[in-house]
Amino acid sequence: MARLPFVDTHVHFHDMTHPRLRYDWIAPDAPIDPVVGPDGAMRAQRYWADDFVAETRFQNVAKVVHVQAAIGSPDPVEETRWLQAFADRLGLPQGIVAYVDLAQPDAAEQLARHRAFPNFRGVRDLRDDDYLSSDAWRRGYALLDGLVCCDDPFVEQMPDARRLAEEFPGVTLCIDHAAYPGFGGNPRDPALADFDAWSAGMRELAKAPNVVVKISGLGMSDHSWTVESIRPWVSECIDAFGTERSFFGTNWSLDRIYSSYGDVLDAYAELVSDFTEAEQVAMFSGNAERIFRLGDPAAA
């Protein structure tokens, strides 16, 4: 059966030799990530949009959203500039989720500079502090009206994240990587991974209509995943958020450590095979097109 057109909502490109970009999280001397584990280091000096096109050319990838990867760069706007050059030459990524430290006084100025690039669609500001209760960070978040904010709240932060979304209805809060199911546990055993706590948190988030879930990066939690091992997590995401607020991504090229690209798409297709064709299309492409406004050249 022919594969549905796919909008990949979570990819990372990198170039360790770029003079103005840094990738502290995958540097040779970077500490081992507690989720990704020791296999998480991407050995290649670079993974450009050209490499992604070559690797996925037979997978019916329709559009791509790139999510911030150049962590530690002196000027985050340089990554957006670099990605827009790929888009101008190759046609992708159609969407760019960039980095802004929303707690900083210059957040508005950085956002304005990102907005100068036509494919800019949102912000990711990964943090492990008490950002949701920070007045400074919330002032920065308020600047995102009309944009997508990709975030990964911990389970205990999910009620606060839901309240944040309700306070700022003009911002779409996108929960990346299904909120890392199995963080700190083993996703093959829901008891160890505290499936119930994660599920309750996700359903709390889903109460806010402007919160959406990106099902992606599951290989980081389950390095030897199978369709059946990830089925409970995927099914719960879709059940909580519905087929109109759920969509897929791959976390490529990081998750290529755990499978092939086609394996991921085939797994997603099998997991949603009981849904109607319209619902499958929505989760594979339609929702992402709408949420990230990938058909709107004036969206930024």
Q: What is the predicted pLDDT for the residue at 266?
A: 97
pLDDT, one tens digit per residue, over 123-159 is 999 998 999 999 999 999 999 999 999 999 989 999 9
Percent of the chain scored above 90 by pLDDT?
A: 80
The closest of 148, 105, 145 to 125, measured between CA atoms, is 148
Q: How confident is the model at residue 186 (pLDDT cuts 50, 70, 90)?
A: very low
- pLDDT score of 187: 47
pLDDT at residue 297 greater than cutoff 70: no
pLDDT for the residue numbered 223: 86
Across 203-207, 225-229, 238-242, least confident range: 225-229
Confidence of residue 60 (pLDDT cuts 50, 70, 90): very high
Q: How far apart are CA 10 and CA 252, in angstroms?
A: 7
Dump the DSSP string for 168-185.
-TTSEEEEGGGG-TTTTS
Q: Is residue 300's pLDDT more than 90?
A: no
pLDDT tier, 28 (very low <50, low <70, confident <90, very high otherwise): confident
Confidence bin at 169 (pLDDT 50/70/90): very high
Comparing 296 with 195, the larger pLDDT belongs to 195
- Region 110-122 average pLDDT: 98
Which burial class, exposed, middle or buried, applies to 141 when counting CB atoms under 10 A from its CB (0-12, 13-18, 19+)?
buried
C-alpha–C-alpha distance, residues 147 and 142, integer Å: 10
Contact of 15 with 66, CB cutoff 8 Å: no
The mean pLDDT of 191-218, rounded to a whole number, is 91
Quote the CA–CA distance of 75 and 99 in Å, as a whole number: 9
Per-residue pLDDT, 184: 42
Tell me: pLDDT of 191 over 90: no
**Mean of the per-residue pLDDT values for the chain?**
91
Give the largest CA-CA distance in the chain.
Answer: 52
**How far does CA 231 lie from the centroid of its chain?**
19
User: 206 or 296: which carries more pLDDT confidence?
Assistant: 206
Output the CA torsion 105→108→109→113 (10° steps): 140
Buried b (16+ CB within 10 A) or exposed e, 88-104: eeeebbbbbbbbbbbbe
- In the chain the domains, ranked by start, together with CATH numbers, are 6-291 (3.20.20.140)
pLDDT given for residue 89 in this prediction: 98
Tell me the average pLDDT across 291-295.
Answer: 95
Give residue 185's pLDDT.
Answer: 41
